[in-house]
Amino acid sequence: MIADISIAPVGEGASVSKYVARAVAIIRESGLKHEFHSMGTNVEGSYDEIVKLVKRCSDAVFKLGAERVLIRMYMDDRHDKVSTIEGKKQSVENKL
């Protein structure tokens, strides 16, 4: 499946890029295919792989000192065909 994930602290100041960078680093090290964008990161993997990865990111943000963390996940799971980050974008591009 593909999941758009975002993990960010509340209450650590308006600038949160330090925390986001930590989460993005963990996603990169995971080996899962991903697409970093300005409002989150899309990750390709199984449900279990993705929720474990999000937990590691959230733990790391707390470890950096956050008191409260908001997690957004938006998951797209298809059983009728294999869905990939690249394939999904190509499918739209082909119709433009």
Q: Which residues bind a second copy (CB under 8 A)?
A: 2-4, 8, 10-18, 20-21, 24-25, 28, 35-40, 42, 47, 51, 55, 58, 62, 66-80, 85-86, 88-89, 91-96
Least Å distance between CB 32 and a second copy?
Answer: 13
Cα 41 from Cα 4, distance rounded (Å):
6
Least Å distance between CB 55 and a second copy?
Answer: 6
Cα 51 from Cα 14, distance rounded (Å):
27
Look up residue 70 and give its two tokens. Answer: 């908001």
Phi/psi for 68 (5° steps) reads -145, 135
Q: List residues bridging with 34 in a β-sheet.
A: 43
Please give the single-letter amino acid code of residue 38: S
Least Å distance between CB 42 and a second copy?
Answer: 5
Query: Is the CB of 2 or the CB of 45 nearer to a second copy?
Result: 2
